[in-house]
Amino acid sequence: MQDNVIDSRYLIDYVKYPLVTDKGTRLLENNQYTFIVDPRVSKPVIKKAIESFFDVKVIKVNSCNLPRKKRRIGRYEGFKPKYKKVIVTLAAEDSIEILPEI
């Protein structure tokens, strides 16, 4: 997916959901947020999507393509869909509210 071809209205469709794990909550202290995104999307597109949707300044984007996992239902085997995990570092004055305070 190339940067110049993508319409800005559909940028947020590439970010699937925030990943809330033990490591992810520890990274919140460093102003880093973890998301699951479409595996075909590049770092500049992810940066543009996060900046436009959450209205924050992204400093850095780290990404890794994770392997497909096997899934078994009874005697049938298959695979879960492939996904990409990104860790987005924000500027010091910005933050995203992932977990609402109750």
Secondary structure of residue 96 in the 3-state scheme: coil
> CB atoms < 10 A from the CB of 90, how many?
20
What confidence tens digit (pLDDT) does each residue in 49-97 have?
A: 999 889 999 999 999 998 889 999 999 999 988 889 999 999 999 888 8
Domains of the chain: 8-90 (3.30.70.330)
The fraction of the chain above a pLDDT of 70, given in percent, is: 90
> Sorting pLDDT into bands at 50, 70 and 90, what band is 4?
low
Element (H, E) at 23: helix 22-27
